[in-house]
Amino acid sequence: MDQHKRQPYLDAMGIQSWRLRRSPAPGGGADAVDATTTTVSDPAADADPAIAALDWPELEATVRACTRCPLHEHRIQAVPGVGDHRADWLIIGEAPGADEDKQGEPFVGRAGKLLDQMLLAIGLQREQVYITNIVKCRPPGNRDPKPDEAGACRGYLKRQIELIQPKIILAVGRVAAHNLLNTDERVGALRGKRFEYADTGVPVVISYHPAYLLRSPAQKRKAWQDLLLARQVMNASH
């Protein structure tokens, strides 16, 4: 997408006439961001092997009926995810909120609208990506998911990744980053690097959660930089 067509979406993100400073790639390419670091982690090592044989209809039905942790006691409905089952881009957030709990779809509130604008800014429709969360049920009061709650959903997420086979994972927010990479580093310290999901070879890029960007609009420029990095990493990996 050229700059003229992209600008309305950048305006919606609060980014005007700003461009990522580029540096030469090792092979001489013009689109490289400063050097990235590859880190391999294995957050899914303890995932339930019983889920590994599920196809999409079975997986989504299992998620919607799940009672593996106490979160099911408070939900209206579980939220497996939405989008293209063979998408190149997989977007992973933390947990459904109140709007998502009601509608059964992730990222449908104000944060979801901002995410849509972010995707449009790099030429992607919502329907072209797959969007899900670390946990599939809303935590009470929109609190952070607890480790055992994330663990109960880990097998579902692992199976989704296996079925989708994405070319890039964009993890938005601290909860997603910590669970995918098995780390407790700040999001700010994880940005700008190339990580890898478990032993799959699927690259992971970390960015801020759209809900955080709504509270801290000055960080939207960094989120745009993260999107460009994700696109660059994806292109370099395939």
What is the pairing mode between strands 168-172 and 202-207? parallel
Alpha-carbon distances of 171 from 69, 72, 90, 175, 227, rounded to whole Å: 23, 24, 8, 9, 11
Domains of the chain and CATH, by start? 3-237 (3.40.470.10)
| DSSP conformation class of 107 | S
Per-residue pLDDT of the chain (238 residues; tens, 9 = 90+): 565 566 666 666 666 544 444 433 333 343 444 434 454 445 555 557 789 999 999 999 999 999 999 999 999 999 999 999 999 999 999 999 999 999 999 999 999 999 999 999 999 999 999 999 999 999 999 999 999 999 999 999 999 999 999 999 999 999 999 999 999 999 999 999 999 998 889 999 999 999 999 999 999 999 999 999 999 999 997 7
pTM score, whole prediction: 0.86
pLDDT for position 121: 95
Q: Report the b/e string of 11-24 with b at 16+ CB within 10 A.
A: ebbbbeeeeeeeee
Q: Which helix (H) or strand (E) holds 130?
A: strand 130-133
Residue 48 confidence (pLDDT):
75
